[in-house]
């Protein structure tokens, strides 16, 4: 029996195929166009769907015996469609500036605290509901033709199975989902002047949508009995793929974006979460939740640093260029693409403080690594009191391969961190839930035993923790010192 995970990203989609022992055996990828003009950030949903069918057809031709495919996607972005699911316009990305006025009006009507209590989210224009309000106000003729509002997961699931369902974790990214009742919030939709009947039916994470239609089977080469599974928002899939199933462990996603994902065994303290702009999202076990603490620049900052200061060198070269035994002493504010949690300040800028004529490229690179970790420590402290209880981290993504960065994180956070073999935890999590749905695995624990492989655990070193602590205490004041100047 073979299973597969379909991961729909902002600029491309990939389908990864696994054998019956949970080993990756094949993969296909397609990209699609994204437009980012000053007034609109959009993805062509029709082109995205063509990319999905292309990877399915490529893998379907080689592996027609795939028993199930799980679908995970990025969040917030939606596409308005007609009754048949045909897009009526391009899909607005979460970075699209439209919806800011509508979000402010919604906050004024209901109150920030009430919105956070219902949805688990601090109000923000990135979410689907304010953007859908904008769509209704500015495109009334097209809105009148809108029969479905689909996020990318349920858009693809609809076209593969004819079932209109969306999992709880992705539904929560709309700012219209009640995380307590696990249903669309009548209060949120009434305040927005929208009908929740436009939305797909919310279902638990990992719920099968049914077999592919005859038409989808014809286009892809998949067998008609192939089951499609509504998995989750990609960050939730990554937490599952990292083998984190309860509050004792959190996930460090060391990719282009740095993301700390704690797990809660019950609803966290929502006032603390709102103040830190942390989203509260339903998780895989009933009654459990995850949150996202993240920095827009993780690996992306190191890549920028290497390309700017280390011409012709590799990341490994840059890592070894600094030979000091402790912190550099430089302070890097890693807001090179704006500030994510806990600030959510898209206008914040990056900064490098403490430069001298003797500063080397290697020092700057190391200081960038430190800045990303200090920002995660800041988020870790902002989560205190919210109900976190994790005592260790599982690390995924390309950054988990850097022994230097992993040890630095253990030292700065004062927590052991275990690097996992997998880079793409989201695809693995997607396949794990698919394996459960088609009977390949009996439990998440069995799936993790097959598919989650640990490489090395890094323990915090008390002496280094003390040195980093001295620098971190200065780092905590950098944002407030720099922000008024830029």
**7-63 confidence digits (pLDDT tens):** 998 889 999 999 999 999 999 999 998 888 878 889 999 999 999 999 999 999 999
Q: How many CB atoms lie within 10 A of CB 141?
A: 7
Evaluate whether residue 96 is within a structural domain.
Answer: yes
Please check whether residues 224 and 282 belong to one and the same domain.
Answer: no
DSSP H stretches of helix in 84-197: 100-110, 112-119, 128-138, 140-145, 152-161, 168-171, 186-192
Closest CA to 251 of 267, 265, 271, 235: 235
Backbone angles phi, psi at 99, to 5 degrees: 105, -5
Give domain status of residue 369, yes or no: yes
pLDDT of residue 8: 94
Q: Any idea what DSSP says for residue 174?
A: G
**For the chain, how many residues are written?**
486
Residues 332 and 374 in one domain: yes
Q: Give me the sign of the Cα torsion angle 263, 264, 270, 275.
A: negative
Same domain, 272 and 392: yes
191, 214, 236: which is the final residue of a domain?
A: 236
User: For the residues 221-239, what does the mean pLDDT come to?
Assistant: 95
DSSP state letters, 298-351: SHHHHHHHHHHH-TT--HHHHHHH---SS----EEE--BTBB-TTT-BTT---E
Does a structural domain hold residue 427? no
What residues have CB less than 8 Å from 325, skipping those under 6 apart? none
Is 143 found in the same domain as 250?
Answer: no
Residue 397 has pLDDT above 90, yes or no: no
Peptide bond between residue 342 and the one before it cis (omega within 30 degrees of 0)? yes
CB 395 within 8 A of CB 254: yes
Structure tokens belonging to residue 480:
């407030």
Domain count, the chain: 2
SS3 277: coil
228 and 279 within one domain: no
- Give CA torsion, residues 138, 143, 144, 145, to 10 deg: 140
CA distances from 98 to 32, 104, 125 (A): 22, 12, 7
Write down the pLDDT at residue 166: 98
Residue 460, pLDDT score:
98
Domain that residue 486 falls in? 243-421+453-486
Tell me the mean pLDDT in the region 377-386: 96
Report how far residue 399's alpha carbon sits from residue 337's, in angstroms, rounded to the nearest whole number.
19
Provide φ and ψ at 347, rounded to 5°: -90, -5
Tell me which of 200, 217, 236 is where a domain ends.
236
Domain containing residue 162: CATH number: 3.30.420.40
3-state SS assignment for residue 76: coil
pLDDT in tens, 195-226: 999 999 999 999 999 999 999 999 999 999 99
Does pLDDT of 376 surpass 80? yes
Q: Clarify whether residues 40 and 168 are in a common domain.
A: yes
Rounded CA Rg of the chain: 22
Pair (216, 294) in one structural domain: no
* One domain, residues 268 and 375: yes
Six token digits for residue 219: 């286009």
What is the distance between the alpha carbons of residues 470 and 270, in angstroms, rounded to a whole number?
31
289, part of any domain: yes
pLDDT for 95 beyond 90? no
**Six-digit token string for 251:** 């996930």
Instruction: Give exposure, 203-226, as e/b (b: 16+ Cβ within 10 Å).
Output: bebbbbbebbbeebbebbbbeeeb
Q: How far apart are CA 402 and CA 320, in angstroms?
A: 11
78-81 sheet: strands from edge to edge: 34-36, 41-43, 91-92, 78-81, 148-151
Please work out, in degrees rounded to the nearest 5, the angle formed at the alpha carbon of residue 377 by the alpha carbons of 372 and 379: 95
The average confidence (pLDDT) of the chain is 95
What pLDDT digit, counting tens, does each position of 432-471 carry?
999 999 999 999 999 999 999 999 999 999 999 999 999 9
- Same domain assignment for residues 147 and 18: yes
Determine the pLDDT at residue 211.
98
Instruction: Examine the domain organization and report whether 300 and 328 are in the same domain.
Output: yes
CA separation, residue 372 to residues 27, 259, 353, 378, 428 (Å): 31, 10, 14, 10, 25
pLDDT digits (tens, 9 = 90+) for 153-192: 999 999 999 999 999 999 999 999 999 999 999 999 999 9
Query: Do 402 and 255 meet the contact criterion of CB atoms below 8 Å apart?
Result: no
If asked whether residues 102 and 133 sit together in one domain, one would say yes
Q: What is the pLDDT of residue 311?
A: 82
Indicate if 393 and 310 belong to the same structural domain: yes
Query: Average pLDDT in the 114-141 region?
Result: 96
- The answer to whether residue 423 scores a pLDDT higher than 80 is no
Angle between helices 462-475 and 403-413 (to 10 degrees): 80
The angle formed by the CA atoms of residues 318, 320 and 321, to the nearest 5 degrees, is 65
Confidence of residue 305 (pLDDT cuts 50, 70, 90): very high
- Average pLDDT, stretch 248-253? 95
> What residues contact residue 20 under an 8 Å CB cut-off, 6+ apart?
1, 2, 440
Q: Residue 149: pLDDT band by 50, 70, 90 thresholds?
A: very high
Q: What are 302's two structure tokens? A: 């190191």
Domain boundary among 208, 236, 264: 236
- Per-residue confidence at 338, pLDDT binned at 50, 70, 90? very high
Using a 10 angstrom Cβ sphere, with 0-12 exposed, 13-18 middle and 19 or more buried, the burial of residue 355 is exposed
Q: Is residue 16 part of a domain?
A: yes
> What share of the chain has pLDDT > 70, as a percent?
100
Tokens of 156: 């693809």
């Amino acid at each position: 029996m073979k299973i597969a995970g379909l991961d729909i990203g902002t600029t491309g989609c990939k389908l990864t195929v696994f054998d019956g022992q949970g080993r990756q055996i094949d993969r296909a990828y397609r990209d699609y166009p994204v437009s980012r003009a000053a007034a609109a950030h959009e993805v062509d949903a029709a082109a995205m769907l063509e990319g999905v069918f292309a990877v399915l057809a490529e893998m379907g031709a080689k592996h027609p015996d795939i028993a199930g495919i799980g679908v995970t996607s990025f969040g917030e972005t939606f596409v308005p469609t007609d009754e048949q699911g045909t897009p009526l316009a391009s899909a607005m990305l979460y970075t699209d500036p439209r919806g800011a006025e509508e979000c402010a009006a919604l906050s004024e009507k209901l109150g920030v605290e009430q919105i956070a209590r219902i949805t688990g989210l601090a109000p923000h224009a990135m979410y689907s509901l304010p953007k859908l309000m904008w769509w209704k106000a500015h495109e009334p003729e097209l809105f009148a033709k809108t029969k479905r509002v689909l996020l990318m997961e349920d858009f693809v699931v609809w076209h593969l199975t004819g079932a209109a369902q969306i999992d709880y974790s992705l539904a929560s990214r709309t700012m219209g989902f009640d995380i307590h009742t696990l249903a669309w919030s009548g209060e949120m939709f009434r305040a927005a002047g929208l009908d929740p009947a436009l939305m797909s039916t919310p279902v638990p994470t990992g719920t099968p949508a049914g077999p592919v239609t005859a038409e989808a089977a014809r286009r892809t080469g998949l067998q008609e009995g192939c089951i499609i599974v509504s998995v989750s928002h990609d960050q939730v899939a990554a937490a599952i793929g990292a083998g984190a199933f309860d509050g004792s462990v959190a996930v460090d996603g060391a990719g282009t974006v740095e993301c700390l994902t704690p797990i809660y065994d019950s609803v966290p303290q929502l006032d603390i979460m709102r103040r830190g702009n942390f989203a509260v999202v339903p998780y895989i076990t009933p009654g459990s939740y995850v949150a996202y603490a993240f920095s827009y620049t993780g690996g992306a900052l190191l890549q920028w640093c290497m390309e700017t200061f280390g011409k012709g060198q590799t990341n490994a070269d840059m890592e070894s260029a600094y030979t000091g035994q402790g912190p550099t002493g430089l302070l890097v504010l890693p807001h090179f693409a704006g500030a994510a949690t806990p600030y959510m300040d898209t206008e914040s800028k990056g900064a490098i403080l403490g430069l001298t004529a003797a500063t080397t490229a290697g020092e700057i690179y190391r200081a960038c690594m430190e800045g990303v970790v200090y920002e995660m420590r800041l988020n870790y402290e902002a989560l205190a009191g919210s109900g976190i209880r994790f005592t260790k981290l599982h690390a995924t993504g390309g950054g988990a391969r850097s022994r230097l960065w992993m040890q630095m994180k253990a030292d700065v956070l004062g927590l052991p961190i275990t690097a996992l073999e997998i880079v793409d935890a989201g695809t693995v999590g997607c396949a794990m839930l698919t394996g459960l749905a088609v009977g390949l695995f009996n439990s998440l624990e069995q799936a993790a035993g097959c598919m989650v492989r640990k490489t090395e655990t890094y323990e915090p070193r008390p002496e280094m923790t003390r040195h980093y602590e001295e620098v971190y205490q200065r780092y905590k004041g950098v944002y407030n010192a720099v922000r008024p100047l830029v």
